[in-house]
């Protein structure tokens, strides 16, 4: 009779990371305002194993102007959310999506001539 070693269960690892309803609602609210201003025209969503990305485009055929990323593995470090610019520079990172999106909302406020 053979004895099998005990099976150690690992914590559930999701097959892909995605934005939940509240996160997506906040992102789409900002997106709609920027579309109404004529700044943005298209978006794309990617849900991968370690990151979920909401990419924002000025035109469909271009590279994204901004990427809003959700990386749960960075929860204990810099923050789960990040806004990345066109050149790959991280514009803002944090634990609160509303605070992170403020870097993009500043474009809504234009100086009055």
pLDDT band at residue 79 under the 50/70/90 scheme: confident
Per the listing, tokens 């025209």 go with 41
Kindly state whether residue 63 falls inside one of the protein's structural domains: yes
Number of residues that make up the chain: 113
Count of structural domains within the chain: 1
Q: Tell me the average pLDDT across 49-54.
A: 93
Q: Tell me the average pLDDT across 61-76.
A: 87
Q: Report the chain's mean pLDDT, rounded to a whole number.
A: 84
pLDDT exceeds 80 at position 3: no
pLDDT band at residue 74 under the 50/70/90 scheme: confident
How does pLDDT run across 4-40, given as a tens digit for each residue?
Answer: 666 655 556 567 888 999 999 999 999 999 999 888 8
Nearest to 80 by CA among 95, 59, 68, 98: 95
Per the listing, tokens 């403020």 go with 102
Domain extent for 85: 21-108
Kindly state whether residue 5 falls inside one of the protein's structural domains: no
Per-residue CA distances from 65 to 4, 55, 94 (Å):
54, 8, 20
Kindly state whether residue 37 falls inside one of the protein's structural domains: yes
Kindly state whether residue 30 falls inside one of the protein's structural domains: yes
Kindly state whether residue 8 falls inside one of the protein's structural domains: no
Q: How far apart are CA 78 and CA 95, in angstroms?
A: 8
Burial 13-30 (b: 16+ CB within 10 A, else e): eeeebebeeebeebbeeb
Kindly state whether residue 34 falls inside one of the protein's structural domains: yes
pTM: 0.78
Percent of the chain past pLDDT 70, that is, above it, reads 79
Kindly state whether residue 2 falls inside one of the protein's structural domains: no
Kindly state whether residue 84 falls inside one of the protein's structural domains: yes
pLDDT band at residue 112 under the 50/70/90 scheme: low
In this structure, are strands 66-70 and 52-57 parallel, antiparallel, or unpaired? Answer: antiparallel
The radius of gyration of the chain's CA atoms, rounded to the nearest angstrom, is 18
């Amino acid at each position: 009779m053979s004895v099998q070693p005990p099976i150690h269960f690992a914590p559930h690892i999701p097959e892909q990371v995605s934005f939940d309803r509240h996160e997506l609602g906040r992102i789409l609210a900002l997106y709609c305002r920027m579309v109404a201003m004529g700044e943005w025209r298209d978006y794309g969503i990617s849900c991968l194993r370690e990151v979920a990305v909401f990419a924002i485009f000025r035109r469909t055929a271009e590279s994204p102007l901004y990427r809003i990323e959700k990386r749960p593995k960075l929860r204990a470090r810099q923050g789960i959310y990040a806004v990345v610019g066109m050149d790959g520079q991280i514009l803002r990172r944090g634990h609160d999506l509303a605070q992170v999106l403020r870097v993009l909302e500043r474009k809504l406020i234009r100086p009055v001539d």
